[in-house]
Structure 1
Amino acid sequence: MVRLNKIKRQDGRIFLITGANSGLGYETSKALLEKGATVIMCCRDLLKGEKAKQELLKFNFSGKIELVELDLSDLNNVKKFSEFIKQNFNYLDVLINNAGIMAPPKTFSKQGLEIQFAVNHLAHMFLTLELLPILEEKNNSRVVTVTSGVQYFGVIKWDDLQGNLKYDRWASYAQSKLANVMFGLELNSKLKESNSKTSSLLAHPGFARTNLQPKSVEANQSWQEEIAYKLMDPMFQSAKMGALPQLTASTLPSAKGGEQYGPRFNFRGFPKICRNAPKALNKTTRKKLWEISKKLININ
């Protein structure tokens, strides 16, 4: 089990975190800054990002903060962002694909794709592939993709990936989180084949209290969902505890590619290696999703 005080110093190391201004991303940034890392905080809303940055600066941590705007709902923006990072940083030690959208009403990305599949899976895949060259500048660099416990219930709807025939917001969320695991494992397989210096790991926070829950209630105007969260509240752990699995996957020297870290009891507790969703273990379907995703993000 890994606790915050067990994480080693990270001086000289650069971490890029998506969705860094709140919840798991904020707590991950805070922990890494305390350990002396340089943290590139990526935020869709720069005003909220600046507010989070100022809060973190009050702690006088030894680490450095770089705040950069990133809109994962627009692949063109992801491309521009990636070019900016490659021009301004010679290397990355760890990319943490943390940002996520949970169960909104049917919404589309700038490219007309279902928003959860687009942001949670496709944009992070695109970002990762764009940044691999500077990740590979460092030995033992890592890509950590943050999924969710709903990965175990997710189903890839091959004939309706975008929910055009039938949209169920929770099924689409679970699909995107299963896609995260399939991507993370397939990426690690490809990195191994090419003898890359980089490895791909996964993490999930269990039941963590973040802004995803109130945002979902607000977006859907669902009093039933609000009551459900209130009833479940005692089961939720803090965002600080929820961030520990991704911190472990990012910093634990013994962590290996293909591993997933999650809470000890799967919904709460200190992190340990946990099982990947069984549906993500099929190499054929992983390759199929990879090829479909490549076409959707329009890369060779």
Structure 2
Amino acid sequence: MLKKSTGFTEADVPDQSGKCFVVTGANTGIGFEVTRVLAQRGARVLLACRDEAKAQEAIARIKQVTPRADLAFLPIDFADLASIRAAAERAAREPRLDGLINNAGVMTPPLMRTKQGFELQFGVNHLGCFALTALLLPKLSGTPGSRVVTTSSVAHNGAQIDWDDLNAEKSYNRMKRYAASKLANALFFFELDRRLRAAGSPVTAVGCHPGMASTNLGRYMGPLQILNPLVGVLLNSADKGAWPALQGATGPVKPGAYYGPIGFRGVRGVSGEASRSAVAQDPVLARRLWDQSIAMTGIDPGLPSVN
């Protein structure tokens, strides 16, 4: 394990030649920075994005610095399970798949719904992540040392999932729903790790969070968006916010561990092992979420239950 005094940065990412990664939400923010670094280290990266024009623009930006970067657009709409299935089928055609970085998400939008009728934040941030991971597990299992990295947030602390109103049909508080979706991310990678290990799978599951990073995730924050540049100066820029995901995908990790900034109050600085709430490690809640996710998506990862 890395010493806390040094931590992990993009400079610690080893050569990735011959490897292939899927990065969701890769056209902007932390996803872009993760993609940039992986490409610079020689990996092939599939940019899993909804907007092709934005994905191609991101590819062009990276190739300005790394002309020989091996990048491809993978169309996906996380608000549509049919689109997720199609993307998984395309990604599975790759000769190998070494990592899935679940980075895409939405934050505090007005009440909106996915194509299948799920509340958007829970549907995109968790159910979309759950579905894509489940569908790609067979491909990932064929590559020794492959990893699944799922992005949570410091917002998961103190969050609660409203099990009786998952689709926000009774009430909707956008920040509480965002926090709940990030708790779901944390519970998901916790349970995924437990089940992968029980199955003797070669796939490693870890979680990460970027601290407080300046990205466009807060585009629904209204006037508070004016603070975004200040976040980048005082706390984490997007490139630094990518360090925990990069550690999860390429660095020294413990199965099931959680990585994030280890600087001021865990919201900035180099990456290392991060703390998470006790609720995020509750096996009863994690199992409940797993079963609920299968029921809602109709997609079963096929991994054994763990007591």
TM-score over 0.5 for the pair:
yes
- Residue 85 of structure 1: how far off its partner (Å): 1.6
CA distance in 2, matches of 1:232, 1:55: 23
Q: Secondary structure at the match of 1:153?
A: coil
CA distance in 1, matches of 2:226, 2:27: 27
Could you list the runs of 5+ residues in structure 2 that have no partner in the other structure? 1-6, 301-307
Of stretches 63-72 and 240-249 in structure 1, the one that deviates more from structure 2 is 63-72
CA distance in 1, matches of 2:248, 2:68: 22
Give the match for residue 167 of structure 2. Answer: 162
Is 1:111 aligned with 2:116? yes
Asked whether the equivalents of residues 144 and 201 of structure 1 are also in contact (C-alpha less than 8 Å), the reply is: yes
Structure 1 residues 230 and 198, CA gap change in structure 2 (3 angstroms): closer
Asked whether the equivalents of residues 104 and 169 of structure 1 are also in contact (C-alpha less than 8 Å), the reply is: yes
- Residue 3 of structure 1: how far off its partner (Å): 2.0
Asked whether the equivalents of residues 142 and 198 of structure 1 are also in contact (C-alpha less than 8 Å), the reply is: yes
TM-score (norm 1): 0.94
Is 1:58 aligned with 2:56? no
Is 1:139 aligned with 2:144? yes
Give the match for residue 261 of structure 1. Answer: 259
Give the match for residue 282 of structure 1. Answer: 282
Q: Which runs of 4+ in 1 moved over 2 A?
A: 60-63, 225-236
State the AA in 1 paired with 2:89.
E
Give the match for residue 4 of structure 1. Answer: 10
Give the match for residue 128 of structure 1. Answer: 133
CA distance in 1, matches of 2:267, 2:228: 14
Q: Per-residue CA shift, 1:119-168, capped at 9, x if unaligned?
A: 00001100000000110011111000011110112111111112211100
Could you list the runs of 5+ residues in structure 1 that have no partner in the other structure? none
Which of 184, 192, 197 pairs up with 2:202?
A: 197
Asked whether the equivalents of residues 34 and 61 of structure 1 are also in contact (C-alpha less than 8 Å), the reply is: no
Give the match for residue 243 of structure 1. Answer: 242
CA distance in 2, matches of 1:62, 1:15: 16
State the AA in 2 paired with 1:195.
G
Structure 1 residues 56 and 230, CA gap change in structure 2 (3 angstroms): closer
Asked whether the equivalents of residues 72 and 123 of structure 1 are also in contact (C-alpha less than 8 Å), the reply is: yes
Q: Per-residue CA shift, 1:91-111, capped at 9, x if unaligned?
A: 210100000100000000000
State the AA in 1 paired with 2:127.
L
Asked whether the equivalents of residues 147 and 203 of structure 2 are also in contact (C-alpha less than 8 Å), the reply is: yes
Give the match for residue 4 of structure 2. Answer: none
Asked whether the equivalents of residues 49 and 55 of structure 2 are also in contact (C-alpha less than 8 Å), the reply is: yes
Give the match for residue 181 of structure 1. Answer: 186
Asked whether the equivalents of residues 11 and 63 of structure 1 are also in contact (C-alpha less than 8 Å), the reply is: no
Give the match for residue 19 of structure 1. Answer: 25
CA distance in 2, matches of 1:228, 1:53: 28
Give the match for residue 3 of structure 2. Answer: none
Asked whether the equivalents of residues 50 and 67 of structure 1 are also in contact (C-alpha less than 8 Å), the reply is: yes
Q: Secondary structure at the match of 2:160?
A: coil
- Residue 60 of structure 1: how far off its partner (Å): 2.5
Asked whether the equivalents of residues 35 and 62 of structure 1 are also in contact (C-alpha less than 8 Å), the reply is: no
TM-score (norm 2): 0.92
CA distance in 2, matches of 1:41, 1:191: 25
